[in-house]
Amino acid sequence: MPDSGYVLLTGFEPFGGDLLNPSALLAERLHGSEIKGVRIASACLPVDLARLPVEIERLLDGPSPRAIVNLGLAAGRTAVAVERVAVNALDFNIPDNAGQQIRDRPILPDGPAAYLSRLPLRQSVERLRARGIPAYISDTAGLYLCNACMYLVLHTLAQRGWDIPAGFIHVPFILEQTAQQEAPRASLPLDMLTLATGILVETALAETQTQPLRQVLSSTE
Amino acid sequence: MPDSGYVLLTGFEPFGGDLLNPSALLAERLHGSEIKGVRIASACLPVDLARLPVEIERLLDGPSPRAIVNLGLAAGRTAVAVERVAVNALDFNIPDNAGQQIRDRPILPDGPAAYLSRLPLRQSVERLRARGIPAYISDTAGLYLCNACMYLVLHTLAQRGWDIPAGFIHVPFILEQTAQQEAPRASLPLDMLTLATGILVETALAETQTQPLRQVLSSTE
Amino acid sequence: MPDSGYVLLTGFEPFGGDLLNPSALLAERLHGSEIKGVRIASACLPVDLARLPVEIERLLDGPSPRAIVNLGLAAGRTAVAVERVAVNALDFNIPDNAGQQIRDRPILPDGPAAYLSRLPLRQSVERLRARGIPAYISDTAGLYLCNACMYLVLHTLAQRGWDIPAGFIHVPFILEQTAQQEAPRASLPLDMLTLATGILVETALAETQTQPLRQVLSSTE
Amino acid sequence: MPDSGYVLLTGFEPFGGDLLNPSALLAERLHGSEIKGVRIASACLPVDLARLPVEIERLLDGPSPRAIVNLGLAAGRTAVAVERVAVNALDFNIPDNAGQQIRDRPILPDGPAAYLSRLPLRQSVERLRARGIPAYISDTAGLYLCNACMYLVLHTLAQRGWDIPAGFIHVPFILEQTAQQEAPRASLPLDMLTLATGILVETALAETQTQPLRQVLSSTE
């Protein structure tokens, strides 16, 4: 029986005083499920700059997954945000979970200024909207751990020459969180974000299937 | 069989270019249902200053309902907003559906400066939150038709001496609306707002049941 | 020599961790100056609910001033905000300077629901704009000490039958404050706010000058 | 007499229905002045994607300036925003002045994903704040003409190997603009922005003067 590979899906642990992080819940919920015949393998990343690169390295220390979708929480956002770009910079508004508050430093001193998402951005947003889920393409993933995660993953792919769909998605608070807030910020239901994550993985995989053809064409030039 | 009365629930028609108004959908959805044995009678109000007072007058032209809950849409709000006060002022940012854009005028030249909500504000917010619905007490209902509705209803109750729970609730956009927006604003699911409306009516009615006792006590003083 | 009376101008002491309050600086700067031949007498009010009514009572414990302009800081506002209404409610987001955090209480249990400003709202905004100062009419003064100040002053005037212009103005942060903020909020120059305060007093007094005539007419009826 | 070179300072023409663009006023005001003995040469760029690269090419079609500071308007920002990064993407929320609304396209199909600013970011913000001017480092310059300008200028420098300070600054509305707005957005005085621009040029030039030394050291390694 042929192995159809897997999709790597990650979330982050809670940070900044929150008791939960919806991105970790989403990764956990979808772990082991199959989308278009491809199994999802999930992981929860640390909000800790010292440990993040080690963990990403470890997760990618095998054969290439079919696609990578990294999730994170963006407090105050109103919709699912498909990130366009990861910038080679760290500038934390709050300390990470290890207490480090980095300002104005590159992620990789010799790395390129930025990586553009390898997800089909517009197609992702259109499919989400068609299913009734508010979504947009975001022009900044911030300069905290989420952006660093996106940058490090895309840098690793570039280093290894893995031509797979990969990118970062910011999700809003979920209702369980804002129902506790005196002045509630924007939020969406966890069930809707679960559906959204599935659609995003599916859209990434749909894109993947055109890759082999392209590679064949390139190799004959 | 004794008639247990009814709750008047209103929404507004669409305005400002929107194709739908969630407040009207909510009123329609709950029309005819029963909460704590009391039937809900719903109506859709016009976003038209010339017609609004006539319509409110017509709706209250019979025996007193057990409670009144008026609903309206507040674009950009992040949670269910239980309004605290209705001010005797009209100052429209956009024209109403009849094309009138009133600035700096009282609703009733001889009316009081404001009416405070007759809903149990804090209790309403607490019950919503306990059910996982983000909610807060809002300090301004704006100076458009929503505020005018709240003012006119509470003025009518004051005139008639109807001692019933009554007040205004602003709801956010629903997902069906923001899924069409290029830059999506905050929104909540219609199903959650339907649940919220039921809880608000239930909380208002719970409060009502203590009223007769209080009235008895007052009359014996 | 006839006494042309005085204008009462108040600001508030710093609160919420701020080291300065622009409203107090403005009151201090204009203290003793003359506008349209009327002297300005300034005072700084405490951000302390227990002491505020006492201090307002003390300030109004003599002959009526010609006009009253109360100033306060509204963090995050982008322009001079001429407040339209003071509501009979207290609901603090942060404790006052005495450590009290009041929730959901009336200012005066037997007072009216609200008082509308006695300043010429639209005229004030138009004159400010004509002089290049961004300004608007605000529909809520919050439910902290500023709103309480506005309510208590207007209530006192109503009790005494003093028919004078009076109302509340919220000012934004000044540049000296936001130049220290990592994520600067909106702010305006202190000099511009000083000019604005003078214009607001002048506009209030211009309105006053039609009062004597009116009073004469009334007294002959 | 030795020529001490010049600083290129640019602003943009008005767009999006505005009658003026403060960035053009700033460039015009400083044109011909001298900062640290270096003359400022200003230009006004078109908000027109077809003409922008041509105009930038023309402006840089001579010997290298000593530094380049590009200015643009960012509606709604509250402070001077020193941009950190220019991304190789175009995604317009509104059409440019030629009526083109580009979505999801690269600026240069074969260009790098992004360029980081060549201005001393933190030092610039610190000097502005020390002079009482609210300022911050911004993580996104949008994906309209401002970002394109920053990208194209930095790309040109990279192509030519010009090792000079260069970067983009977003300024808020000025008071002349927001004093006309019904709901005024954040704004700062033109005089303060003029001072800020001078400080930014001065900080860029201060940085320049250490460059030759560094180059000498590098060449001897």
Helices (H), A31-144: 52-59, 121-130
pLDDT at C207: 66
Contact criterion met (CB below 8 Å) for B169 and B30: no
User: What pLDDT does residue D4 have?
Assistant: 77
Distance CA D30, CA D68 (A): 13
A1 pLDDT above the threshold of 90: no
Could you tell me which chain A residue has the CA closest to the CA of C94?
A182
Provide the CATH topology of domain B6-217.
Aminopeptidase (3.40.630)
D195 contacts on C by Cβ (under 8 Å): none
Which residues in chain A are contacts of B129 at CB distance < 8 A? 179-180
Rounded to whole angstroms, the Cα distance separating A90 from A104 reads 6
**Which residues have a Cβ under 8 Å from the Cβ of A75 and sit 6 or more positions away?**
A16, A173, A185
The distance of Cα D212 from the centroid of its chain, to the nearest Å, equals 23
- Are β-strands D67-73 and D6-12 bridged in parallel, bridged antiparallel, or unpaired? parallel
d(CA D87, CA A86): 10
Q: Which residues contact D220 (CB under 8 A, 6 or more apart)?
A: none
Give me the pLDDT at residue C152, please. Answer: 98
Chains that touch C (3 or more CB pairs under 8 A): A, B, D
Whether the Cβ atoms of residue D27 and residue D43 lie closer than 8 Å to each other: yes
> Considering chain A, what percentage of its residues have pLDDT values greater than 90?
91
Q: Which of A84, A87, A88 sits opposite D89 (nearest CB)?
A: A84
Would you tell me which residues 87-126 of chain C have a C-beta closer than 8 angstroms to some C-beta of chain B? 87-89, 91, 103-104, 112-116, 121-122
The residues, ordered by sequence, that sit 6+ positions from C219 with a Cβ below 8 Å of its Cβ are none
pLDDT of C208 reads 53
- Neighboring chain A residues of B121 at a CB cutoff of 8 Å: none
- What SS3 state is found at C9? strand
Q: What is the pLDDT of residue D208?
A: 54
- Residue partners of C9: CB distance under 8 A and separation at least 6: C26, C27, C30, C31, C40, C41, C42, C43, C68, C69, C70, C71, C197, C201
pLDDT of residue B208: 54
pLDDT-derived band at D207 (thresholds 50, 70, 90) equals low
Strand order in the sheet with C166-171: C34-35, C38-45, C6-12, C67-73, C166-171, C80-83, C135-138
- Asked if A182 is an interface residue toward chain B (Cβ–Cβ < 8 A), one would say yes
- Write phi, then psi, for B105 (nearest 5 degrees): -125, 150
Amino acid at B47: V
Read off the pLDDT of residues A127-163 as tens digits, 9 standing for 90 and up.
999 999 999 999 999 999 999 999 999 999 999 999 9
Q: Is C79 on the interface with D (CB under 8 A)?
A: yes
Residue with tokens 């006590």: B217
CA-nearest residue to A123 within chain D is D104
Q: Which residue in B81, B41, B40, B36 sits closest to B196, CA to CA?
A: B81
CB-CB contact of B58 with B71 (8 Å): no
What is the pTM (predicted TM-score) of this model? 0.92
Query: Could you give the CA distance from residue A117 to residue A125 in angstroms, rounded to a whole number?
Result: 13
Strands C67-73 and A114-116: unpaired
C170: annotated active-site residue = yes
Q: Which chain D residue's Cα is nearest to B182?
A: D93
* Alpha carbon B37 to chain centroid, angstroms: 21
What average pLDDT does this structure show over D100-128? Answer: 98
Structural domain boundaries of chain A? 6-217
Q: What is the mean pLDDT of each run of 10 residues along chain B (221 residues)?
A: 82 95 98 97 98 98 96 97 98 97 97 98 98 98 98 98 98 97 97 98 79 37 31
| Cβ contact A179–B134 (<8 Å) | yes
Q: Would the pLDDT of A219 be above 70?
A: no
Q: Which residues of B are part of the catalytic machinery? A: 83, 146, 170
Segment holding A214, helix H or strand E: helix A211-219
Q: Taking CA atoms, what residue in D is nearest to A116?
A: D113
Contact C165, C119 (CB under 8 A): yes
Residue B54 CB-density burial (10 A; 0-12 exposed, 13-18 middle, 19+ buried)? exposed
Catalytic residue among D28, D34, D155, D170: D170
| Strands (E) located in chain D | 6-12, 34-35, 38-45, 67-73, 80-83, 85-87, 114-116, 135-138, 166-171, 173-174, 187-188
What pLDDT, in 10s, does the model give residues C16-27? 999 999 999 999
What does the pLDDT read at residue A214? Answer: 36
- The answer to whether C30 and C194 have CB atoms below 8 angstroms apart is yes
Read off φ and ψ for residue A117, nearest 5 degrees. Answer: -55, 145
* Residue A57: HSE in the Cβ half-sphere, 13 Å Cα cutoff: 5
What would the mean pLDDT of A11-39 be, rounded to a whole number?
Answer: 97
Phi-psi sector, D115: left (phi>0), alpha (psi -120 to 50), beta: beta
Interface size A-B, in CB pairs within 8 Å, comes to 67
Instruction: Show Cβ contacts of residue D97 under 8 Å, excluding neighbours closer than 6 positions.
Output: D13, D15, D46, D47, D48
What is the pLDDT at residue C4?
A: 77
ipTM of the complex: 0.90
Residues of chain B with C-beta less than 8 angstroms from the C-beta of C89: 84-85, 116, 139
Residue B182 touches partner D, C-beta closer than 8 Å: yes
Summarised one tens digit per residue, pLDDT across range C139-176 is 999 999 999 999 999 999 999 999 999 999 999 999 99
Torsion angle in degrees (nearest 10) through CA of D62, D63, D68, D74: 10
Write down the pLDDT at residue B4: 77
Answer yes or no: is pLDDT of A212 > 50: no
Cross-chain residue pair C104–B122, CB shorter than 8 Å: yes
Q: How far is D140 from chain A (nearest CA, A)?
A: 6
List of residues 6+ apart from D2 with CB closer than 8 A: none
Among D78, D131, D181, the residue with its CB nearest the CB of C186 is D78
Report pLDDT digits (tens) over D123-158. 999 999 999 999 999 999 999 999 999 999 999 999
pLDDT number for residue A207: 67
